[in-house]
Structure 1
Amino acid sequence: MTIKTSIRFDQNLEIPMRDGTKTYADVFRPAADGKYPVLMTRTPYDKSSAASRSGPLDAINAASQGYAVVIQDVRGRYSSGGEFYTFVNETDDGFDSIEWAAEQSWATGKVGMYGASYVGATQWLAAKSGAPSLAAIVPTVTASDYHEGWAWQGGAFELGFNLSWSVGSLAHGNWNNLSDQLQLGNSALENLISSKDNLKPEFLHLPLSEMQVLKNGLAPYYYDWLSHPEYDEYWQSLCIQDNHDKIQIPALNIGGWHDIFLGGTIRNFTGMQSSGANQSARDGQRLLLGPWVHGNTGTLAGSYNYGTSSSRDKENIHGRTLSFFDKWLKGDTAKEAIDKSVRIFVMGINQWRDEEEWPLARAVDTKFYLHSNGGANSLRGDGILSQVTPSDEPPDSYHYNPQFPVPTAGGGLCCDDVFMKNGVFDQRPIEQRSDVLVYSTPPLEEPLEVTGPISVTLYASTTAADTDFTAKLVDVDASGFARNLTDGIIRARFRNPRHPASFIIPGEVIEYHIDLWSTSNVFLRGHQVRIEISSSNFPRFDRNLNTGGEIGSELEFVSALQTIHHSSEFGSHVILPIVRN
């Protein structure tokens, strides 16, 4: 890194909010007098931390290239006053913070925002405010809806993420601030640390709403998320994707194939491209997707190494981010973050590729049907995946017992590497279970590229009043290593998205659609394409107790007999977007 100029550092500058709350920020800017475009990050994770100062963007490097970098603790976090509650204050507080920065004597009046995860949420929520000085954003690994794809997915509560994030980063991470506000002593801290270090009993606790670790004001939002399983007014006022038509700024959207917010990253790009408030916003959307997990910038995704070229450093994310801001904040139209609208890492062949659009116009949605002779249970079963339309075949059945759920084995996870390691892991241990149905193609005679949105249509019946179905796409190499690519879930009562709960009739064959989000992968010659079907992925998602009771309040559970139909009448299948070279 070459420092081109002397840097001035100002610590704990006060940024007042409209209600009188005092928040604080650190500022890195060129020492020379002048006016500079502002790059702002609004974080709940400590403005003074190394991650905040050099994570998604290196503050000193950016300042050396002519930017004033403002790193702010959001309301109620670390140095800032007020009470923190997820999402609800970030629109107004974002507006006030942006306009404060734009009005400083050292600012040109143009502000860009950057950051990852919740710090991506603070960008989109601020963009929703219509702050006039906000010129561009670079949201990384973040969501488009804080109901579907953040707290909930497919009607299931994202238990592993919600609990580990709330206990760890939000409560324990902000303990000094929280303990002062709530007048809590060392015993409360010890209890919190004990729970953080022993999450498994907390995951298993029933009823979910009575778990004590976050009570007494530590994280009231956690219990509020749980009590709002439907897309109601609680979530509607916060949603980004429903407000794309009101957002007027370009965005460089950065995400990861194995990231927990992959779906939202892509939806923000596509939604803004089609519905942004003006032509500049629509034309100014960019999408960059690597083989990354949440929070890891290296080459490893779980147990799998995608190679040196896959790392964010090698891909020069910091440089691409500054190029994007150079264009939109400095008017340097020769600068582009990426050569085309979309840049993706194609797994399998492990190569970067630029594309004109997403989804790819040349990708052909192709149905691969589930087949068996009624015994697709486990890796030892007779499940087959092929493009042949099924005829009269016996269905597959398995018992789902909530007391013995299928354990989570990688995938798009956050935020505890001890209890939920994210990324890629060999799925064969999962596929040994009789409550996991396994459908595989024969070894491929030639490479097969799958790039785009993935969905599974299941025709299924159950003996329960409510239940879940899960699906996972896997690439199996010649040695048998089963590399998970993407997965999804659907809760029967919420099979119709954004509609009130609708309970099923036990025994009735129902059509379910499971969104597996997207991937880009070349299944190499000799590899197999595999789909796993089951009814749990725990603790990533809460267990459906099969009773149809109120989510979060249930204590009792029942086992369910699940039947997956694949016949001429009920052709269960996965849709794979095939790209022919």
Structure 2
Amino acid sequence: MFSVRSKQTSCLYTRDRVRLDADVYYPDSDAEFPVLLMRQPYGRSIASTVVYAHPSWYAAHGYIVVIQDVRGRGTSEGIFDLFAHEREDGEDTIAWAANLPQSNGQVGMYGFSYQGMTQLYAAAAQPPALKTICPAMTAYDLYQDWAYEGGAFCYQMNLSWAIQLAAETARRQNNVETYHTLYAASRNPSLSDPVCARSGILRRLAPDSHYHTWLDRADASDPYWRHLSPSLLLHNTDLPMLHIGGWFDTYLRGTLKLYNHMASRSQFPQHLVVGPWAHLPWGRRVGAIDYGPEANSPIDRLQLRWFDQVLKGIDTGLLNEAPVCLFEMGTNQWRQFDRFPPDHPETFYFLQTTGLASLDDRAGTLTQSPPPHPQPSTPDTFVHDPWRPVPALGGHAAFPAGSFDRSNIDCRSDVVTYTSAPLETDLHLAGATTIELYCTADTASFDVCAILSEVKPDGSVFNFSQGYLYIHQPVGKVEMPAAASQSPSQSPMPAPQPLTPHLLTLQPTCICIPQGSAIRLSLSGACFPAYAVNAGTGDRSGQGRLMDARVITVTIYSDGDRASQLQLPVIP
């Protein structure tokens, strides 16, 4: 251990002569040390201490630690343009950091969220001094892992984050009134139109925000996403990486895609650790559940072992351990695996119903026996009313995130539930649940929200995984009665089509459902404000209006050739 010198402020000039400012923490020694770099947009004094130890802690363990304001943030010069300069600026910063006084020329990076993205962009440039990165809770595909999920716009998270970034711009401009207005809005974002996700306050006070650009580019094939997504930039990059995620983090999809991509081709160690955490903080209590002392974050100690191994050549034993470390909720302990997801046989549960699963939680069941074939059964039907959309509660896409008792929501008539019998033995899950759902609606578009929960013996219902899907149906002309055809609110009806299943992939998880509890699948047409409400018109979330939104009747089938089912990632 070293004592740590007083923080120094230093700067570099990028290749286009923009000054970037950084705080530098030195061990109090004349020796040479590796450099740990974090590049972030929130003011470098914070240094991501919402989830990590203070930079001085790492410096005390023998590292020069650099916390830098990215271009146009904090006190750094330039104009902030979301992710646009992070590749070149990251490459320039790494070359500069490698040549700091007392640097031994080796650089590692760490950080979560935006700070994870700056690592990926810098790594894509392949600077020779960069030896390892530790990306946490970040996107691999910017469209699928950050802005949208299942084709639906992630409303609450995207709006809150855009307001936060706009407030930092106002602070830099010394615009006190705008800053305070945005600060107040961040505590209570205006969600007056659940269908139209456009933001009046951002349009007025931050017209250059990325927010409406993301809304306007609802197509995943738009070149905008291809240009900025790390998934298309990292094909020739190979480094040792420590990947960090949380079961209730909104960007977990990106963490796992990046890990699997690198693990499948890298010549260097790739390790993955996933805790029972939301995006922040990383502690033992998430939502309404206390996961015990083992859930307190081990990440700082783990990162230190990782950097000691890779940057100092110290045998910490880390490379002798299994590369995948997952926190199993329920047993509240860490489990080791050789890969993610772990190998497991296919375990199917089929939806069965009396047709009243939206009104009686005993009417819809999950069973491992497929429905009789070809005997038809009455489908389940529920009505989604945009005036009173099903509210979000916990999960990974809403704030606050985590697990909560949702038994009251499951009692709504616009939520259909399918519940298994009480388990005879403990059920261990690790991986992503997929659902093959046969469903239709009477409108041009509709959404499906799927939530998996544990039903405890006392009747409480705690969610542990969810997924969301935007569905657009082909439309055609349908003959309507004369009076109905004159209605200005009448939308085109879906054209008759062969019924094919829709595939939903839920948030991966690792959990033990104990003997005596049951599993429940809850389906609905909304999860507001986590996602903007589907108007039923085929318009995307930046185009429709609540007053034009349709009441949507959704039908779910679970018989014969239309056997809706879910595949659970059951492990020993």
TM-score by length of 2: 0.91
Question: Counterpart of 1:7 in 2: which secondary structure?
Answer: coil
Match of residue 175 from structure 1 = 170
Tell me by how many angstroms 1:202 deviates.
Answer: 3.0
Distance 1:44 1:160, change over 3 A: same
Match of residue 366 from structure 2 = 385
Tell me by how many angstroms 1:54 deviates.
Answer: 7.7
Paired residues for 1:118-137 under 5 Å: 118-137=114-133
Tell me by how many angstroms 1:335 deviates.
Answer: 4.1
Distance 1:145 1:235, change over 3 A: same
Deviations 1:100-128 (A, max 9, x none): 10122321111100011111111112111
Match of residue 8 from structure 2 = 11
Q: Please give the alpha-carbon distance, in whole angstroms, between the structure 1 residues aligned to 2:147 and 2:254.
A: 12
Tell me by how many angstroms 1:550 deviates.
Answer: 4.4
Runs of 5+ unmatched residues, structure 1: 415-419, 496-502
Give the length in aligned residue pairs: 548
Q: Please give the alpha-carbon distance, in whole angstroms, between the structure 2 residues aligned to 1:59 and 1:191.
A: 32
Matched, 1:353 2:335: yes
Question: Counterpart of 1:209 in 2: which secondary structure?
Answer: coil
4+ runs deviating over 6 angstroms: none
Q: Note if contact 1:195-1:202 (Cα within 8 Å) is conserved in structure 2.
A: no
Tell me by how many angstroms 1:243 deviates.
Answer: 3.8
Question: Counterpart of 2:432 in 1: which secondary structure?
Answer: strand
Distance 1:456 1:463, change over 3 A: same
Matched, 1:447 2:420: no
Paired residues for 1:78-93 under 5 Å: 78-93=74-89
When structure 1 is superposed on structure 2, of 82-91 and 66-75 the one drifting more is 82-91
Tell me by how many angstroms 1:33 deviates.
Answer: 2.0
Matched, 1:427 2:437: no
Match of residue 288 from structure 2 = 303
TM-score by length of 1: 0.90
Tell me by how many angstroms 1:510 deviates.
Answer: 3.7
Tell me by how many angstroms 1:439 deviates.
Answer: 0.3
When structure 1 is superposed on structure 2, of 148-157 and 4-13 the one drifting more is 4-13
Matched residue type, 2:567:
I
Matched residue type, 1:574:
L
Q: Note if contact 1:39-1:112 (Cα within 8 Å) is conserved in structure 2.
A: yes
* RMSD across aligned positions (CA): 2.1
Q: Note if contact 1:57-1:318 (Cα within 8 Å) is conserved in structure 2.
A: yes
Q: Please give the alpha-carbon distance, in whole angstroms, between the structure 1 residues aligned to 2:29 and 2:309.
A: 22
Paired residues for 1:256-335 under 5 Å: 256-276=246-266, 279-280=267-268, 284-312=269-297, 316-335=298-317
Deviations 1:499-552 (A, max 9, x none): xxxx99355434211110311111111100111111111100111111012440
Q: Please give the alpha-carbon distance, in whole angstroms, between the structure 2 residues aligned to 1:89 and 1:115.
A: 18
Matched residue type, 1:241:
S
Q: Of 376, 395, 398, which residue of structure 1 is paired with 2:357? A: 376
When structure 1 is superposed on structure 2, of 57-66 and 212-221 the one drifting more is 212-221
Matched residue type, 2:170:
W
Q: Note if contact 1:125-1:238 (Cα within 8 Å) is conserved in structure 2.
A: no
Q: Of 160, 163, 176, which residue of structure 1 is paired with 2:159? A: 163
Question: Counterpart of 1:566 in 2: which secondary structure?
Answer: strand
Q: Please give the alpha-carbon distance, in whole angstroms, between the structure 1 residues aligned to 2:496 and 2:358.
A: 20
Match of residue 389 from structure 2 = 405
Matched residue type, 1:535:
G
Match of residue 193 from structure 2 = 204
Tell me by how many angstroms 1:212 deviates.
Answer: 3.2
Question: Counterpart of 1:69 in 2: which secondary structure?
Answer: strand
Match of residue 500 from structure 1 = none
Distance 1:548 1:323, change over 3 A: same
Deviations 1:227-258 (A, max 9, x none): 11112111111212334432211111111111
Distance 1:334 1:213, change over 3 A: closer
Deviations 1:180-224 (A, max 9, x none): 4xxx4x43334323422332x336366433523354436520111
Match of residue 229 from structure 1 = 218
Question: Counterpart of 1:492 in 2: which secondary structure?
Answer: strand
Q: What's the % identity of the aligned pairs?
A: 33
Distance 1:24 1:366, change over 3 A: same
Q: Please give the alpha-carbon distance, in whole angstroms, between the structure 2 residues aligned to 1:219 and 1:479.
A: 51
Match of residue 348 from structure 2 = 367
Q: Of 234, 243, 246, which residue of structure 2 is paired with 1:253? A: 243
Q: Please give the alpha-carbon distance, in whole angstroms, between the structure 2 residues aligned to 1:63 and 1:197.
A: 35
Runs of 5+ unmatched residues, structure 2: 475-491
Tell me by how many angstroms 1:404 deviates.
Answer: 1.4
Distance 1:295 1:322, change over 3 A: same
Distance 1:219 1:436, change over 3 A: farther
Question: Counterpart of 2:178 in 1: which secondary structure?
Answer: helix
Match of residue 486 from structure 2 = none
Distance 1:82 1:140, change over 3 A: same
Q: Please give the alpha-carbon distance, in whole angstroms, between the structure 2 residues aligned to 1:78 and 1:195.
A: 21
Matched, 1:576 2:568: yes
Tell me by how many angstroms 1:76 deviates.
Answer: 1.1
Question: Counterpart of 1:298 in 2: which secondary structure?
Answer: coil
Distance 1:228 1:366, change over 3 A: same
Matched, 1:113 2:105: no
Q: Please give the alpha-carbon distance, in whole angstroms, between the structure 1 residues aligned to 2:62 and 2:199.
A: 52
Paired residues for 1:38-49 under 5 Å: 38-49=35-46
Q: Of 134, 149, 153, which residue of structure 2 is paired with 1:153? A: 149
Q: Note if contact 2:456-2:516 (Cα within 8 Å) is conserved in structure 1.
A: yes
Match of residue 473 from structure 1 = 452
Question: Counterpart of 1:24 in 2: which secondary structure?
Answer: strand
Tell me by how many angstroms 1:553 deviates.
Answer: 1.7
Q: Please give the alpha-carbon distance, in whole angstroms, between the structure 2 residues aligned to 1:452 and 1:54.
A: 28
Matched, 1:436 2:415: yes
Match of residue 417 from structure 1 = none
